[in-house]
Amino acid sequence: MPKSMTSRVKTTLLALGASVLPLLAAVGASNAADLKHVTVVLSYIPNVENFGTIYANAKGYFKDAGLEVEIVPGTSGIDGIQMISSGTAQIAMVAAESVFSAEGRGEHLKVIGARFQMNPQAMTCRQDSGVTDAHMVKGKRLAIKQTATKQADVFLSKLGMTTKDMETLSVGGSDISAIIAGRVDCLYSTFAFNEPRLIEGAGVPVNVLPLGDYGLNSQPGAITVTEKYLNENKDVLTAFLTAESKAWAEFFKDPAAAAKFMVEGGFNDGLDLEQQVYQAGRQVSFMTSETTKEKGILYLEPKVWQETAANSFAAKSTPTLIDPSEFLTTEILDKVERPKL
């Protein structure tokens, strides 16, 4: 190529580059503007319980699906249902019992999926108490968290007991000192992979008795939206669950690595790596079931919700017995490819 022609080509490319750069910037701005903003309220702090949403956001899964996701930790004072009802958030991960309470107040919600297949709450007992089955708590000393008093009454009624059948002690929501000190034999209720580890860390071996084994099953981490939002944003919710499922697939491949990601990612100060690894490993069995082997993770189990409905009514959390089929829907889940585990 003649030198003069080479110069003309270079000049043309430079000119094109100068004119194309603003266009590329405009396209980038347009793509950012095209992202659908969604605010998501977590069920708890950013830890392995909420790995799916945190990981999907950090790794760009949501952006790839056309979403810009803002995450609100579910800390004290945060009411996910109140936020989606007011429109300050669009998706909330909440306890199943909270959904029933809201429906009882006249809210119009839809549950489109759930992280847990089994209730991770439990009664935790000192091994030296000899309590290996919940029915053995009769005549023992039971600490009951102040926030769980009504639920404890329902739990004991399923065992054919009342608080008169044992010595009880009311304790604060995070108080494990009584069971560690041996002032009580059992503590109601605990998170199956949180307080038990702390108690054992203090040198007290425990037996963990999941409430789901005694008629108090539920599906916490219920992915909840308003009925109106579902009707108007099915494409957004499909995109959200697609990204969320992709992230949970990574969790199940290596729960310990997922725990390490949460701790080293700096998403929440104070996370302990050993505790997060412990929780991640045990969390798997609560997130999977025979149903998820067939239908995939995050699936909804109607029988479990019917059980929760009866327990919510028994605890006087709802004025009437609420039919969960009124707010459960797998319409979005059925469009999403999810691991079957």
Do residues 288 and 310 make contact, with C-beta atoms less than 8 angstroms apart? no
Helical segments of the chain, H only: 3-34, 51-58, 61-64, 80-86, 96-104, 149-158, 177-181, 195-201, 227-232, 234-253, 255-264, 273-287, 290-295, 302-314
Which amino acid belongs to residue 83?
Answer: M
Q: Would you kindly state where each structural domain of the chain is located, as residue ranges?
A: 1-32, 35-118+219-335, 121-214
Tokens of 222: 């219920």
Q: How far apart are CA 339 and CA 250, in angstroms?
A: 10
Please state at what angle helix 255-264 crosses helix 51-58, rounded to 10 degrees. 70
Alpha carbon distance, N-terminus to C-terminus of the chain: 63
The dotted CATH code for 121-214 is: 3.40.190.10
Intrachain domains 35-118+219-335 and 121-214 with the same fold:
yes
Beta strand 222-226 pairing with 91-94? antiparallel
pLDDT tens for each residue of the chain, 341 residues long: 433 333 332 323 233 333 333 333 333 433 666 999 999 999 999 999 999 999 999 999 999 999 999 999 998 899 999 999 999 999 999 999 999 999 999 999 999 999 999 999 999 999 999 999 999 999 999 999 999 999 999 999 999 999 999 999 999 988 999 999 999 999 999 999 999 999 999 999 999 999 999 999 999 999 999 999 999 999 999 999 999 999 999 999 999 999 999 999 999 999 999 999 999 999 999 999 999 999 999 999 999 999 999 999 999 999 999 999 999 999 999 999 999 99
Class of domain 35-118+219-335: alpha beta
Q: How far apart are CA 210 and CA 195, in angstroms?
A: 13
Size (the chain), residues: 341
